[in-house]
Amino acid sequence: MKNLTKLSLGLAAAFLASCGDDKAAPDAPKPIDAAPDAAPDAFMPPAAPTLGAQIDRMARPAVNTALVAPLETNATLKTAKKDAYNQAAVPGNWLLTQLDPAMAAVNVRAEFARNIAFFDVLDTGMTNVTGAGCGNGALYMSPPSPTSYGSLATVLADDELYIDTTKGVCNFYLSLEVEVATGGGVPHTSCGGRTLTMDVVDISYSLLSAGTSGFDPTMAFKPKIIDGADAHTDVSNDNFPFLGAPR
């Protein structure tokens, strides 16, 4: 019995020696407000990549496609103009960005103002459009002159999407811009901007071609001048993954 007691005491002493430290007294409890021990390894995200030169921008789809060099037959110059538009990185310089290195006067505003005229004629012969033909496009200024489309060109050159966050409905592409471009004729009731289900090209054509007359107010301002391409039916504004299969 004595030997068993001695063995138990020996094991206890060995256990205390192996799990303790070399201090004479046990560790004192750490104050509640004491600094924590070394922090665990924290996740460190990788450094942001260094951005290169801007190669594209597209707040308003089809504007560059439609209004920069649409009838240019020189493929090299056509590409150079579109690249110059896309590579303009400073918003304050967008309006007067030079598009043709050989002609200082060919800036974005001048290019837009000249080429909007080609779209103003698209509604010619349409019986459901008031004043069909030349001169009824948004913000058109008569009499006909090189500056007749200057106001609309200025609006479109500011390649940003305007959004009214006080509106809870977003069902009209460029709602705020349309209000400005029609001189208040079509007041915005939508937040503006763009959603995936909007037919942005039809709305752009209608605005360029006929201003307020290009929309049907009895059908939520449905555009009258259309490109004939059916809208995608496999996209959603609310359900992931939002976009359908590529075509």
239 class by beta-carbon count within 10 Å (0-12 exposed, 13-18 middle, 19+ buried):
exposed
Quote the domain boundaries for residue 210: 63-223
> 50: which 2 tokens?
């260094």
pTM of the model: 0.75
Which of 113, 108, 119, 109 has its CA nearest to residue 66? 119
Start-end of H helices in the chain: 2-19, 63-67, 75-87, 108-120, 150-157, 175-181, 200-210
Q: How far apart are CA 87 and CA 56, in angstroms?
A: 6
Identify whether 56 is part of a domain: no
Q: What is the pLDDT of residue 24?
A: 57
Residue 29 pLDDT: 60
Q: CA 230, CA 199: separation in Å to the nearest integer? A: 9
71 found inside a domain: yes
Could you tell me if residue 105 is inside a domain? yes
Q: Which pLDDT score, from 0 to 100, does residue 69 have?
A: 95
Sequential pLDDT tens for the chain (247 residues): 555 444 454 544 544 444 445 555 556 665 655 556 555 667 888 898 898 999 998 899 889 999 999 999 999 999 999 999 999 999 999 999 999 888 888 999 999 999 999 999 999 999 999 999 999 998 999 999 989 999 999 999 999 999 999 999 998 888 898 888 777 878 898 999 998 888 899 989 999 999 889 989 888 788 999 888 877 788 998 888 898 887 6
Q: Report how many domains make up the chain.
A: 1
d(CA 204, CA 172): 11
| Residue 241 covered by a domain | no
Residue 215 lies inside a defined structural domain of this protein: yes
Max distance between CA atoms of the chain, in angstroms, equals 122
Query: What's residue 172's pLDDT?
Result: 87
Q: Is the residue at 87 inside a domain? A: yes
The reply to whether 28 falls in a domain is no
- pLDDT at position 126 is 95
Task: Name residue 26's amino acid.
Answer: P
Q: Which residues contact 127 (CB under 8 A, 6 or more apart)?
A: none
Taking alpha carbons only, the member of 194, 208, 54, 211 closest to residue 120 is 208
Residue 96 lies inside a defined structural domain of this protein = yes
Note the pLDDT of residue 159. Answer: 92
